[in-house]
A and B are shown apart, each in its own frame.
Chain A
Amino acid sequence: MLVHLPILQVIVPLMAAPACLILGRPRLVWLFSLITSGIAFLISVSLLRQVMSAGTISYVLGGWSAPWGIEYRIDELNAYLLLIISAISTVVLLAAQTSIKKEIPKDRHTLFYVLYLLSLAGMLGIVATGDAFNVFVFLEISSLSAYSLISLGKDRRSLWASYQYLIMGTIGATFILIGIGLMYQMTGTLNMEDLAVRLPEVTHTRTVFVAFAFFIVGVCLKLALFPLHMWLPNAYAYAPSIVTAFFAATSTKVAIYLLIRFTFSIFGISFSFTTLPLQTIFLTLGLLGIFVASIAAIYQKNVKHLLAYSSVAQVGYMIVGYSISTTTGLMATLLHLFNHALMKGALFLAVGAVMYRVGSTQLRDFQGLGHQMPITMAAIVVGGLSLIGVPLTVGFISKWYLLLAAIENGWWPIAILILLGSLLAIVYVWRIVEAAYFKEPLIDREPVKEAPLTFLLPVWVLVTANIYFGVDTRLSVQVAQAASQSLFGVSP
């Protein structure tokens, strides 16, 4: 049983998705999905423990050994990502039943859970697999269910946002497919381990350069790197709240994982960062992303839009850490993957609670909520502080390591720019706080009650995690360090 954990991680949610259709009753389906996601979480915890104590796990599907059959390979980085995805998914699902009652028509509730589990299975699959073509298949499983989930939004603009995401996402995925095809053409293998061995022999050829270019552009579309982020703000703003909370915390992270996996493990550091000017490109785009998206966030009228733009900015931080390409820089990126999932999960869920009570997420409707929904708004404040990077929150930890990495390299101007970016975060977080606490409640709106416990519980689980991992950083730092060291080939 324990041997089969890597495949169970993916197959449990994948099989549970159609099973939802048999159960039929929305409440039952919710409970079933929650249990499924919980099991996936437990599996990922056990995988992480195995990896941390005994090293990389290799699982061959159907007993066909590695370069011929499909291999699932779990090392520190994979286990870390699996943990983030399944943990966020489980916590977000706690609030799902309450939230979708008001946002999705009743006859679609069961289908919502089917799509949610499929998307979860897709993301877990991308991370767990050690086969390049498998990555594409799982990517499409998670993306196709994502398009449908986004189109479930109440507003008709969700349809348009979903369509635009579909076009952009498919172009991205097809680019990745071309990249993988060219890699296969040059090496005759799809196994990642094997690719890593064979690619360096042919890196001087133009085909490999083209493969690399297609792959990187495709992944950057998926991870919403500025200026390829255009699909993200509308998709996040008009999707149902639960969907936004889940995707904001996980989907771009999976794409960043792919970027790290392919550039560091498969193409190799020397090819990715020395032969090509990738470092300069990513550093510039990352920094531009931080500033453009943060400034755009300041001018948004809808809180979901505001947080979505902030997500683009946070991707910028991760890319800056990645482009520094030292162990500390990569560690900062990995830490931010974890920390950003915690803060955005908490923030978007809290905004979902506001949506539940108020029925709108316009900034103007937040007026006076500080007194009417004190517990929810307190969660937004803590989440916001974490987003800024205030000490004692997780946001501080990742910013700290990012600064450390920049300074280690002697890149003082970059360090200063990162700090300036945080100042912009203060401005947009302040706009929510100002509306909630310092403005009079709207006269034309009935006073609202505090959000129900089904919302408060998951929101505060995530908020507590924000503070807990901001103080006790053992788990996140240890795993991120081990993962980044293994990517650089340094033995710990």
Chain B
Amino acid sequence: MILGLYNYWVVVVLMMIGFYIVIAQGNLIKKIVGLNIFQTSVFIFYISMAKVDDGTAPILADGISLYSNPLPHVLILTAIVVGIATTAVGLALAVRIKGAYGSIEEGEIQARDNQEC
């Protein structure tokens, strides 16, 4: 039971770790790292689901008739690109925030905003 669904357990554990970091961490960079872990778990999920028992890589070859499903692999390539773009935008924002506020700690930024009001 546990061994058979090993991949899925990894997915759930990674997902929760990532999600927890996004919520609990106050540092903007760490939040983005958490977001990355969260997204990675979804990538693993898609790839695990594509696996067909005893199937090989989807390349035509003699004597092989059972292939893994290549479609989720392709989907996840797209999702990885999206993830990278999100990380890039997030980090760029963190740089700009550091420039404007002089800090990348959530608490300090909020304190400075409250002072202004």
The answer to whether A156 touches B85 (Cβ under 8 A) is no
Question: Which residues in A have their C-beta under 8 angstroms from that of B39?
Answer: 170, 174
Residue with the greatest number of chain B CB neighbours at <10 A, chosen from A137, A148, A166: A166
Q: Is A184 an interface residue (CB 8 A)?
A: yes
The answer to whether A137 touches B78 (Cβ under 8 A) is yes
- When the two chains form the complex, which single residue of A140, A147, A171, A184 contacts B82, counting CB atoms closer than 8 Å? A140
- When the two chains form the complex, which single residue of B31, B35, B85, B113 contacts A144, counting CB atoms closer than 8 Å? B85
Chain B residue with minimal CB distance to A177? Answer: B42
Bitwise, A146-158 to B at CB < 8 A (1) or not (0) is 0110010000110
The answer to whether A144 touches B89 (Cβ under 8 A) is yes
Question: Which residues in B have their C-beta under 8 angstroms from that of A159?
Answer: 93, 96-97, 100-101
The answer to whether A170 touches B94 (Cβ under 8 A) is no
CA distance A156 to B116 in the complex (A): 11
CA distance A379 to B90 in the complex (A): 37
List B residues 90-105 near A (Cβ within 8 Å). Answer: 90, 93-94, 96-97, 100-101
The answer to whether B97 touches A163 (Cβ under 8 A) is yes
Question: Which residues in A have their C-beta under 8 angstroms from that of B113?
Answer: 157, 160
**How far in angstroms is the closest Cβ of chain A from B8?**
11
**How far in angstroms is the closest Cβ of chain B from A361?**
14
Count A/B pairs, Cβ under 8 Å: 68
Chain B residue with minimal CB distance to A164? Answer: B106
The answer to whether A147 touches B89 (Cβ under 8 A) is yes
Question: Which residues in B have their C-beta under 8 angstroms from that of A273?
Answer: none
**How far in angstroms is the closest Cβ of chain A from B68?**
13
Question: Which residues in A have their C-beta under 8 angstroms from that of B42?
Answer: 174, 177-178, 181
Bitwise, B43-72 to A at CB < 8 A (1) or not (0) is 001100100000000000000000000001
CA distance A261 to B90 in the complex (A): 30
CA distance A352 to B31 in the complex (A): 33
The answer to whether B79 touches A184 (Cβ under 8 A) is no
List A residues 168-183 near B (Cβ within 8 Å). Answer: 170-171, 174, 177-178, 181
CA distance A161 to B33 in the complex (A): 19
Known contacts A147-B89, A159-B96, A166-B90; A174/B38 CB under 8 A: yes
Interface size on A, residues (CB 8 A): 24
- When the two chains form the complex, which single residue of B78, B86, B100, B109 contacts A166, counting CB atoms closer than 8 Å? B86
CA distance A137 to B77 in the complex (A): 11
- When the two chains form the complex, which single residue of B82, B86, B100 contacts A156, counting CB atoms closer than 8 Å? B100
Question: Which residues in B have their C-beta under 8 angstroms from that of A151?
Answer: 93, 96
Q: Is B75 an interface residue (CB 8 A)?
A: yes
The answer to whether A181 touches B86 (Cβ under 8 A) is no
The answer to whether A171 touches B49 (Cβ under 8 A) is no
Question: Which residues in A have their C-beta under 8 angstroms from that of B19?
Answer: 171
The answer to whether A147 touches B93 (Cβ under 8 A) is yes
Question: Which residues in B have their C-beta under 8 angstroms from that of A148?
Answer: 89
Q: Is B28 an interface residue (CB 8 A)?
A: yes
**How far in angstroms is the closest Cβ of chain B from A486?**
29
The answer to whether B22 touches A167 (Cβ under 8 A) is yes
**How far in angstroms is the closest Cβ of chain A from B116?**
8
Q: Is A478 an interface residue (CB 8 A)?
A: no
| 4 tightest Cβ-Cβ pairs between the two chains A and B | A156-B100, A140-B82, A163-B93, A185-B49
Which of B's residues lie within 8 Å of A, judged by CB? 19, 22, 28, 31, 35, 38-39, 42, 45-46, 49, 72, 75, 78-79, 82, 85-86, 89-90, 93-94, 96-97, 100-101, 109, 113
Which of A's residues lie within 8 Å of B, judged by CB? 133, 136-137, 140, 144, 147-148, 151, 156-157, 159-160, 162-163, 166-167, 170-171, 174, 177-178, 181, 184-185
Q: Show 26 A/B contacts (Cβ-Cβ < 8 Å), sorted by A.
A: A136-B82, A137-B82, A140-B86, A144-B86, A147-B93, A151-B96, A157-B113, A159-B101, A163-B90, A163-B94, A163-B97, A166-B90, A166-B93, A167-B22, A167-B31, A170-B35, A170-B86, A171-B35, A171-B38, A174-B38, A174-B39, A177-B42, A178-B45, A181-B46, A184-B72, A185-B49
